[in-house]
Amino acid sequence: MAKSQAMGGRKRRINAVSVPTEIIIHIVMILFCLLCIVPFIFVIIISFTSEESIRALGYSFVPQSLSTAAYKVVFDLGEMLYRAYFNSFYITILGTVLSVLVCVLYSYALFRRDYKYRTFFTFFSFFTMLFGGGLVPTYIVCKQLLGLSDNYAALIVPLLVNPFNFIIMRTFFASSVPEELIEAASIDGSGEYNTLFRIIVPISKPGIATIALLNALAYWNEWYTAMLYVPNDNKHIPLQYLLMRLQRNVDNLKKMAAQMGAEASKMMKDMPSQSMRMALVVMVVIPIAFAYPFFQRYIIAGLTVGSVKG
């Protein structure tokens, strides 16, 4: 099979599907891929559509006239937009670093067969995947006992640990770290932390990258914790939650902008509100779209290894 591939793309593999079948496969794939990507392209087009065109034609793939007014307004949101952008980046970066650190430490100990409390702590994290207190007790404990309310911690701490990532990470260690290596290091007098950070972490980079990217994605896309713990705090809300508040009602934006001291009156006069919302969507998606090629390679590589039974 490898030979026939090496001989060039045109020559078909011996055991390939028939040409008509392959054409059908291509058609199905293309249709589904269009379904996946066209909505985003459509939203980009809308964000560049002039307000007159939207009034006349509605949202359309071929607008009457284009305009960048929406983006101008978005940038005029000033303080509020920058703040939300900053919050999203801040939460994503800090949250990813912390969650990866916690995950590496925990799963490394679980990976060590000679760790005395291995079984206990494996169960300790696994049990939480099976049973929990539910939304209400968790919400009240976080908000009232732990003080996770209207602060950055409220957006970072609730997503810090994911027991499933512990399993993935431990599987990674098991598949990439030979146990003799740890023994050798310990005979050489290397301390546990030294062994982990100097020897194990460097050879487990692909696995750590996968966990880091999955966590970064979770933090960037977060709106749920914001809705629960910082619902009315404009200072800390991330982009996704800002967007969520504008889902049905652009008026919210006026109120919020006014609270943030933006030049509301100037800005709101002829606001291209429809295209503006879509422009905001585009700006939320853009960082992911840029990171995406890099993301997906690592995540695919990671899932391939991590999907092995924990």
**Range 154-183, binding other proteins (CB under 8 A):** 157-158, 160-161, 163, 166
Task: Identify which of 172, 194, 169, 171 has the alpha carbon closest to the alpha carbon of residue 182.
Answer: 194
Binding string, residues 132-151; x marks residues near other proteins by CB under 8 A: xxxxxxxxxxx-xxx-----
The string of DSSP letters for 88-153 reads HHHHHHHHHHHHHHHHHHHHHHHH-TT-TTHHHHHHHHHHHHH----HHHHHHIIIIIS--SSSHH
Q: Which residues in 45-104 contact other proteins (CB under 8 A)?
A: 46, 54, 57-61, 101-103
Among 191, 203, 206, 259, binds other proteins (CB under 8 A): 191
Which region among 76-84, 121-129, 250-258, 260-268 touches other proteins (by CB under 8 A)? 121-129
For other proteins, the closer CB: 73 or 157: 157
Among 7, 20, 113, 116, binds other proteins (CB under 8 A): 116
For other proteins, the closer CB: 175 or 304: 304
How far is it, in rounded angstroms, from Cα 90 to Cα 219? 10
Torsion of CA 43, 48, 54, 60, to 10 degrees: -50
Residue 219: count other Cβ atoms within 10 Å of its Cβ.
25
Q: How far is the CB of 254 from other proteins (least distance, A)?
A: 19
Structure tokens at 60: 């359309």
For other proteins, the closer CB: 80 or 200: 200
Among 84, 196, 230, 237, binds other proteins (CB under 8 A): 196
Q: What is the largest CA-CA distance in the chain?
A: 77
Residue 251 is classified by DSSP as H
Q: Which residues in 241-300 contact other proteins (CB under 8 A)?
A: 241, 243-244, 247-248, 274, 277-278, 281, 284-285, 288, 292-293, 295-296, 299-300
